[in-house]
Amino acid sequence: MNSQIGTSGLIFNEPQLWDKSIPGRCGISIPSNDVAKIELSKELTRENVEFPELSEPDVVRHYTRLSQWNFGVDSGMYPLGSCTMKYNPKTNEVQASKQEIAGAHPLIGDDNSQGALKLMYDLQVMLAEITGMHATTVQPAAGAHGELAGMLIIHKYHEKKGRQRSKIIIPDTAHGTNPASATLCGYESIKVSSDENGVLTPEAVAELMDEDTAGIMITNPNTLGLFEKHIKEIADLVHAKGGLVYGDGANMNAIMGYVKPGEIGIDVLHLNLHKTFATPHGGGGPGSGPVVVTKELEPFLPVPIIAKNNDKYVIIEDMPDSIGRMHTFYGHFNVLVKAYSYILSMGAEGLKNVSEYAVLNANYIKESLKGVLNLPYDRPCMHECVFNDKKQAQFHITTMDMAKRLLDLGFHPPTVYFPLVVEGAFMVEPTETESKQTIDEFINAVKTITQEAKENPEILHSAPNITKVTRLDEVQAARKPCLRG
């Protein structure tokens, strides 16, 4: 298919329900009955409560039209780098919505919750096995929440040792939430720069690591999409100074089945079930950020802990060294069910395939586009690749211009201006779920835009041109947002 998938199509304006209301309209036919009428209080009468009066088609079309304003992974490719916005198999949604699971109540006690407790216990074991770690908590509610839990565990570890430390080392290629998580635990973030190849060197870390430093937070693969090849050496020198290594496992979808973080020196790692293990991300639903730890750190996990006692699954609250609760009850159970279903349906070989295709797709995009976009780090990448707008600067075209123009051509833009170590970053993560056909369409769209940058730059300056909402005054939109359609 050579034509672009973006089109103006039928784009409906849609007012608020109250603006569509016509007195006397009703969406249902209520049969007559022999129940006596009872007058409502004056406050609840129709004259005093502003209910819209609408027919059934009015209501159905209203919500259908609103849904057409949205874009998501069920609409098309969503190549946000560092976010892993991939298509989610619907079978996992089916399992999570079964009444026996969705209707389970958290207050019915251990004896009546054995199925749910077994599911969570088995998921804990699976995640520990996948990562090469010893123990798991599935309580944290999202990635950043998992980060906080991990850093609280490190903080508790040093406290238990009898000497708290004050600093944490954070690479310039780490996820943006890492410094915030460290700060919330009272640590000062110390930046360490990556080298000319986009990775950390042991020498750079050694200069900063001392007895007052609690450890290091490493995103691996990092936000440049590159594997930290010196990770074991770095972990060894951090441990030699009494520190711990926190692993940001948000990009686990690039190494799953090939690398076990626990075997290369990571002490505590969070995982994003809403990224690697196929549950909705962002506006699609709640997240989940389990934390896996080494045996030494197991006593500090948040309570409650789900354990197996002979043939029974139990909830353990009595853990004197625990960091405490991170969430009401046991976490986002609905998300845990979907991840559990995903892991079982994929199997060990399937999880390895996830990593293989994620890496293959990203490298295919990297090689296909490096002739038209600047590639600051021209080396094999993992799950994502990072370009920038250096080649378009001569035509006064920016990364933002190209991202906006992609909307006209039917694609959600990739992540822009992150990571900060790449000026004008254009960061693409295709994920493992996209076909070569779809990826080729994306590549062709980007190539079309780079050609337009040379021949017709004005069309990029005004883009998007055919979407329902065109180019916004972003400063004004931030200061005075208009939330009506």
pLDDT in tens, 350-364: 999 999 999 999 999
Angle between the N-to-C axes of helices 114-131 and 333-369, in degrees from 0 to 180, rounded to the nearest 10: 30
Instruction: Report residue 144's pLDDT band, with 50, 70 and 90 as the boundaries.
Output: very high
Bridge-partner residues for 245, per DSSP? 216
DSSP 323-349: ---SSSTTS-HHHHHHHHHHHHHHHHH
**Cα–Cα distance for residue pair 271/260, rounded to 1 Å:** 13
pTM, whole model, 2 decimals?
0.91
Instruction: Report residue 49's pLDDT band, with 50, 70 and 90 as the boundaries.
Output: low
Residue 195 near residue 159 (C-beta atoms within 8 A): no
pLDDT in tens, 82-97: 888 898 889 999 999 9
Q: Which CATH class is domain 90-346?
A: alpha beta
**Residue 283: pLDDT above 80?**
no
pLDDT in tens, 411-470: 999 999 999 999 999 999 999 999 999 999 999 999 999 999 999 999 999 999 988 888
Under CATH, what is the fold of the domain 352-479? Aspartate Aminotransferase, domain 1 (3.90.1150)
Does the fold of domain 352-479 match that of domain 90-346? no
- pLDDT for 328: 87
How many other C-beta atoms lie within 10 A of the C-beta of residue 466? 15
Instruction: Report residue 205's pLDDT band, with 50, 70 and 90 as the boundaries.
Output: very high
Q: Where are the beta strands (DSSP E) in 391-481?
A: 415-416, 425-428
Angle between the N-to-C axes of helices 399-408 and 436-455, in degrees from 0 to 180, rounded to the nearest 10: 120
**Percent of the chain at pLDDT above 90?**
78
- pLDDT for 1: 47
**Residue 316: pLDDT above 90?**
yes
Instruction: Report residue 329's pLDDT band, with 50, 70 and 90 as the boundaries.
Output: confident
Identify the three-state secondary structure at position 418.
Answer: coil
**For the chain, which residues make up each domain, given as ranges?**
90-346, 352-479
Instruction: Report residue 244's pLDDT band, with 50, 70 and 90 as the boundaries.
Output: very high
**Which residues have CB under 8 Å from 320's CB, separation 6+?**
none
